[in-house]
Structure 1
């Protein structure tokens, strides 16, 4: 993929955590990042991941989550004495259970020019099921069969799985439910059927055996998925020496980004890779247009890595992560341009253009 570059359109984030208001009284917004993106009518829409948490209380860890109250999933706040030992401020084990210290939802933002956004005050999708009890994260949007399919990571005590919702107007939304069980995430739907089948990219999560990788799956109805096939995985390994480990930038984690884009050459796929130190970069792969199980080309070096201060410092440092891009329509003054929206350090949103050389 040497014939492509990702060029930042701004040296500053186009959206920051401070731009987003809390949706719940006495909560703080800890991060606004990793947006899905699409064209809708004459606007660009983003679905931001917004992480919120109750205001800090001295001497306590305050945990927001969804629990069943009289059989109804409801928001509750749990308080635990603050550990005396150092702990991760994002994920913590208390009384034998693992919790997230924030609760994420999806928030809608709208723009005419793709740069200046108005952000809704209230969530578009808020956790509402027990398989979403720890939050809704990192959506992707695909326009398919006359509606917008929204895939997202649904997190609970059982791990991250993949949820699906659909809408035609971004006002009314139908929650279809979980389409891939834990542990799985990073699902991107193809925007058209291929050989009569719906298709998606996904990332099963591995433990002792195997390495992080991107898989392909197909479906007759877009809800029930099968024929799962390994597509490609990270080529790096545990060494942090760049000479001994030239693909180390994707050796720690790998996952698909936004929906694939069909080009004359094939399906263009944006994906992220992380090195052993958890620094995230962006790259590209090219899949055969008729048989996307066939990888035609792939980046040997990342196209975008965390370099600017706001990409290196934040809620989770050293991250550029994209799950949203748009291709400007032929009747616009930016016809054909591909704009890539990316989360930066889990604290804001940057914007780059994908340029073919």
Structure 2
């Protein structure tokens, strides 16, 4: 993977997620990022694309409502973007539709060819009780050293949003591994809201792969706080708790700042010489945050964690980082 593809993936993610605002103010931060000249959306809703839904047997227009929340990875020297698509069912609110995950591929980071049908969706399988009728949402993806792709995503059955894992060797055929906390401590966190799982990566021989720290993989996850979990195999995960047995948030909203309403794990963090750099979604609460940003406005922040102790916060951006124009 060359530097162009790495920078394009990160820039793509921050661009579609709407990150904006100030220049980088700390040396350890990633960037700066630049938009393409005359930038335009690379993926938009499509009211014509059809798919025979295995749950209902009906032909549906699976991305007629919205396309958003992308993940990106390089395969065969091409950028593969997995994106959430919602079927228009009449309801207006996000979360009231059915979500599936589509795929778009690009050789240059500018022009994308979209698959006509979703590549990941609710089906009559072992996960249907967790995925129907809300769907599969919020993809994030990493690759292992052995070439296996690990997808974290949200299962939404309109009762609980649950963070889950699926694996693939080709980005086409997927094995759903199920909710990440279903078995841990007899399902202690199985019926709680979990989502947005970002697995730590590192650069090896020009390629970003899932990183091990002290023999374990690590994942930042959650909203409106960010929590932490570890794994031996990228499938079975253990959340980090405090001595009382409660989830220990490693990043929280801050009154007086751009992230005063919520924080949410973004694209896969990267292990660098400075530490673990976590890019995160930041929501503003205008009355206690930044007045000029408005209420519930999303920007992007960056946080730095210790490379040996992933729960130890070393530094954090005071302002959102921005995408500048070429």
Common fold by TM > 0.5: yes
Structure 1 position 263 matched with structure 2 position 272: yes
CA distance in 2: counterparts of 1:269 and 1:292, whole angstroms: 10
User: Which of 103, 107, 120 is residue 125 of structure 1 equivalent to?
Assistant: 120
CA distance in 1: counterparts of 2:302 and 2:151, whole angstroms: 22
CA shift, 1:155, in A, is 0.9
- Cα pair 1:43 1:111 within 8 Å, conserved: yes
Q: Which residue of 1 aligns with 2:244?
A: none
CA shift, 1:160, in A, is 0.8
CA shift, 1:19, in A, is 5.4
Q: Which residue of 2 aligns with 1:344?
A: none
Q: Which residue of 2 aligns with 1:165?
A: 166
Structure 2, gaps ≥5 residues long: 1-23, 52-58, 182-189, 201-209, 241-247, 286-294
CA shift, 1:13, in A, is 3.0
- Cα pair 1:17 1:29 within 8 Å, conserved: no
User: Which of 66, 71, 83 is residue 36 of structure 1 equivalent to?
Assistant: 71
CA distance in 2: counterparts of 1:11 and 1:250, whole angstroms: 29
- Cα pair 1:49 1:138 within 8 Å, conserved: yes
Structure 1 position 136 matched with structure 2 position 136: yes
Q: Which residue of 1 aligns with 2:319?
A: 301
Higher strand share: 1
CA distance in 2: counterparts of 1:118 and 1:159, whole angstroms: 33
- Please, what TM-score do these two structures have when normalized by structure 2? 0.71
Change in 2 beyond 3 A, CA 1:130/1:23: farther
Per the alignment, in what secondary structure is the counterpart of residue 249 of structure 2?
strand
Structure 1, gaps ≥5 residues long: 62-88, 92-99, 206-211, 237-244, 305-351
Identify which range, 22-31 or 155-164, moves more after superposition. 22-31
User: Which of 16, 19, 22 is residue 49 of structure 2 equivalent to?
Assistant: 22
Aligned residues: 251
- The two structures, once aligned, show a CA RMSD in angstroms of 2.4
- Cα pair 1:14 1:116 within 8 Å, conserved: no
- Cα pair 1:21 1:121 within 8 Å, conserved: no
Listed as ranges, the matches of 1:1-80 within 5 Å are 2-3=25-26, 4-18=31-45, 21-24=48-51, 25=59, 27=61, 29-54=64-89
User: Which of 226, 229, 243 is residue 217 of structure 1 equivalent to?
Assistant: 229
CA shift, 1:53, in A, is 2.0
Listed as ranges, the matches of 1:314-353 within 5 Å are none
CA shift, 1:294, in A, is 1.6
Change in 2 beyond 3 A, CA 1:120/1:154: same
Per the alignment, in what secondary structure is the counterpart of residue 131 of structure 1?
helix
User: Which of 83, 92, 109 is residue 114 of structure 1 equivalent to?
Assistant: 109
CA shift, 1:145, in A, is 4.2
CA shift, 1:21, in A, is 4.5
When Rg is computed on C-alpha atoms for both structures, the one with the higher figure is 1
CA distance in 2: counterparts of 1:8 and 1:185, whole angstroms: 28
Change in 2 beyond 3 A, CA 1:52/1:195: same
Deviation string for 1:229-260 (max 9, x for gaps)? 42111112xxxxxxxx3x0x211111110111
Change in 2 beyond 3 A, CA 1:26/1:217: closer
CA distance in 1: counterparts of 2:277 and 2:313, whole angstroms: 10
Per the alignment, in what secondary structure is the counterpart of residue 197 of structure 2?
strand
Structure 1 position 285 matched with structure 2 position 303: yes
- Please, what TM-score do these two structures have when normalized by structure 1? 0.65
